[in-house]
Structure 1
Amino acid sequence: MIWILIFIICSYLAIFIFIYVNLAGVRPFRPEKSNNIFVSVIIPARNESDNLPDLLESISSQDYPSEFFEVIVVDDNSNDRTFEIASNYTGIRNFKVLTNKGKGKKSALLTGVENASGELVITTDADCRTGKSWISTVASFYRVHKPDLIIGPVSLEPMKGFSGGFQELEFLSLQGVTAGSAVGGQPSMCNGANLAFTRETYLKNADRINPEEVSGDDMFLLQNIKKKKGSAIMWLESSEATVVTKGKTSFLSFLKQRSRWISKAGKYNDPFIVILGFVTFVTISAQLLLTGISFLRLSVLPLLLIFLALKSVPDFLILNNTVGRYNKKHLMKWFVPSEIIYPLYVFAVIVYFLVKGKPEEF
């Protein structure tokens, strides 16, 4: 048993220290002034009448010339006022409202891309807000580096209490892994709330991003682009390019969202993504098992504490770096309790998925 635990924790340390070393070298991107390119911003939306106005207002305040970008809202058969609100909006110069030709977020995104006029496409979600330099920063980064896929930073709105702190820390840990792995040449995550790619790249991959899945467009797109020799997937480090999204207001909605995420794990075939997920799952399972055994046999408690201490090293380094870059250092007060209960949270997500099955998706 000891040798198995040593192998597990060494594997975990190797992967996440690799991620941290690359994360530590991240430097902010400084936009350069150059000729503007035409950009298409695509917003897939379903039942977002409460959120969409705030997003559109934030996009209407961009410092990028209004004649060089368009916004396309694709309504996915909403049964609220989403389509009406979008149709009546007049604050953006080049503005389109479309109805999804199929069903689900992936189809809505494809509908938007097919009708886009821009060389560069940026996607976001209807419950997000952007800064005024969002488009200009992403466009500048694209002009300088010409990557196939740009992974942009996403941050949660500030939340209260331990549950809010836990949710923010968990999200920031994902952002840290996203940035570190991408900078290290092994991109493993991305978020459709802030993602950019060329229209040509998306259309070339559209029929290969698991069409049987109605969502997961972001990760499946990343996975397919990564397979192609010579492709470039880059992390954009910039507070100006950060998109802010809302956290979940209840534990149940939080579980549903994470359950949707893990439901696609079996569809990933990129070696690094698979190894990262497997090692993380086995390490968390080992921690949970050791915790349970230590309640029955106190002699196992020192082993649990050593295991937890070793696991916490890269976790702390990655999170401490990320909260600093996102100006959320105050959240580290929740690190220790979050580290202890994290395996229980993962267990709850898995149990929810197994009991409830695959949640409704968008």
Structure 2
Amino acid sequence: MTIFLLAVSLLYALFTLTLWVTWLRMPSFNAGASLPNGPYITVIIPVRNEANNIANLLNDLTEQTYARFEVIVADDSSTDDTLRIVTEYAGKAPFALHPLPLTNERTASPKKRAITQSIALATGDLIVTTDGDCRVGTRWLATLAAFYQKTGAKLISAPVTFTAERSIVDSLQTVEFSSLIGTGACTLALGYPTMCNGANLCYVKEVFSEVGGFSGVDHLASGDDEFLMHKIAARYPDGVQFLKSPDAIVRTQAHQSWAAFYNQRKRWASKWKAYESYLPSLLAVFVFLSNAAPVVAMAGWLLGFLNGNMGLFVIGLKAIPEFLFLRQVLVFLQKKSSVGVIPLTQLIYPLYVLFFGLAAQGKGYEWKGRNLN
């Protein structure tokens, strides 16, 4: 048991330190001057019951420094005023805004359906997706367009974080979310794509069609972002990149209820068995074991079958490299105020990973008022 704990912990420490060094070496991108003749962009916003948020995002899009874009808001049978707000906004928007009402038909993945139907109507060369509760900076689209022109990337994953932290729970979510964003960015930079986030994703419209869109994964409720990234990466190994730029950061709201948090994390965790590539599944199992190691070490220490120094060593192998990595990612995401919460997150996170790793084995969760599998 001791040898196993040491092996897992040493591998995790090496893995995390590799991420840390990779992040430090990853240059920050500056878009420079505006692009008058940049690619035409279609921003797709799948929404359901976002009446309290959608106007803020549309206002942010009004303030963009980049002018060559249209917006499609795909409304998935909202039961509030979302569609009315978007329709009224379309009459005064300085950009082309197209409300797209979707029928309330039974589907395994409402979000994939919304994106697919929107792309069928899109006139942009690039597709950019975000969510109805997100906020974006004025140079968001300009930065994506400039990065595409410089790199020729087929898919661009970009950073996402939470809006202002109003409680310790918000800060804990911010730290945890930063680990996902940072890990996804670094594995992309290393040539092994694992994670991305559909709240800030950009890809070439023709490539979406070329890889068959969401076919093959359209029976899964989640994964409109990661499964597509893996399909594109399989065809274009060097064509999937992360955009590390403060101007490209998208901000979304932290969950304000445990039920919403539970359902989202269970939805995310349920994807790992469906990956065709071995790497994301292997990473999921590795992270699960790595977070189990300090729990087992602590239990072994308290129960007397593991030396106290060995228990502390196992815990330190996880905690110290993690702190170094997470601190750098949080500073980039302009969340330096959450750095002090990292140790508390490290105490909670192993139990959290074990819980959701096991919970994901069960089927079904609620999302946007629907029960999905």
TM-score > 0.5 by shorter chain: yes
Aligned partners of 1:296, 1:2: CA distance in 2, in Å?
Answer: 14
What SS is found at the alignment partner of 1:173? Answer: helix
Q: Tell me what 1:40 maps to.
A: 42
Q: 1:187 aligns with which of 193, 201, 208?
A: 193
What SS is found at the alignment partner of 2:251? Answer: strand
Whether 1:52 aligns to 2:54 is yes
CA contact (8 A) 2:158 2:201 kept: yes
Q: 1:261 aligns with which of 268, 277, 286?
A: 268
State the Cα distance separating 1:354 from its structure 2 match: 5.2
Q: Given the two structures, how large is their TM-score scaled by the length of structure 2?
A: 0.91
CA contact (8 A) 1:19 1:184 kept: no
Amino acid at match of 1:203: S
Q: Tell me what 1:6 maps to.
A: 6
Aligned partners of 2:323, 2:77: CA distance in 1, in Å?
Answer: 43
Q: Tell me what 1:220 maps to.
A: 227
Q: Tell me what 2:20 maps to.
A: 20
What SS is found at the alignment partner of 1:208? Answer: coil
Greater Cα offset, 230-239 or 139-148: 230-239
Q: 1:113 aligns with which of 115, 119, 138?
A: 119
Whether 1:240 aligns to 2:247 is yes
Pairing of 1:252-331 with structure 2 (within 5 A)? 252-297=259-304, 299-331=306-338
Greater Cα offset, 12-21 or 332-341: 12-21
Query: Share of identical aligned residues, percent?
Result: 31
CA contact (8 A) 1:208 1:224 kept: no
State the Cα distance separating 1:276 from its structure 2 match: 1.6
State the Cα distance separating 1:56 from its structure 2 match: 0.7
Aligned partners of 1:212, 1:51: CA distance in 2, in Å?
Answer: 29
Q: Tell me what 1:97 maps to.
A: 99
Amino acid at match of 2:177: F
Aligned partners of 1:229, 1:82: CA distance in 2, in Å?
Answer: 37
- Residue 94 to residue 182, structure 1, CA distance change in 2 (3 Å): same
Amino acid at match of 1:120: L
CA contact (8 A) 1:215 1:361 kept: no
State the Cα distance separating 1:299 from its structure 2 match: 4.8
Aligned partners of 1:111, 1:128: CA distance in 2, in Å?
Answer: 21
Greater Cα offset, 155-164 or 237-246: 155-164
Q: 1:145 aligns with which of 146, 151, 155?
A: 151
Q: Given the two structures, how large is their TM-score scaled by the length of structure 1?
A: 0.93
Aligned partners of 2:268, 2:4: CA distance in 1, in Å?
Answer: 28
State the Cα distance separating 1:162 from its structure 2 match: 2.5
State the Cα distance separating 1:82 from its structure 2 match: 1.4
CA contact (8 A) 1:107 1:214 kept: no
Q: Tell me what 2:177 maps to.
A: 171
- Residue 2 to residue 259, structure 1, CA distance change in 2 (3 Å): same
Q: Tell me what 1:196 maps to.
A: 202
Aligned partners of 1:230, 1:5: CA distance in 2, in Å?
Answer: 34
CA contact (8 A) 1:8 1:282 kept: yes
Greater Cα offset, 187-196 or 319-328: 319-328
CA contact (8 A) 1:209 1:224 kept: no
State the Cα distance separating 1:32 from its structure 2 match: 4.2
* C-alpha RMSD over aligned residues: 1.9
What SS is found at the alignment partner of 2:86? Answer: helix
Q: Tell me what 2:371 maps to.
A: none
Q: 1:156 aligns with which of 144, 150, 162?
A: 162
State the Cα distance separating 1:267 from its structure 2 match: 0.7
CA contact (8 A) 2:222 2:267 kept: no
Greater Cα offset, 133-142 or 292-301: 292-301
Aligned partners of 2:331, 2:318: CA distance in 1, in Å?
Answer: 21
CA deviation vs aligned residue, 1:151-187 (integer Å, no higher than 9, x gap): 1111101223332221111011111112211111112
CA contact (8 A) 1:71 1:92 kept: no
Aligned partners of 2:152, 2:361: CA distance in 1, in Å?
Answer: 42
CA contact (8 A) 2:76 2:114 kept: yes
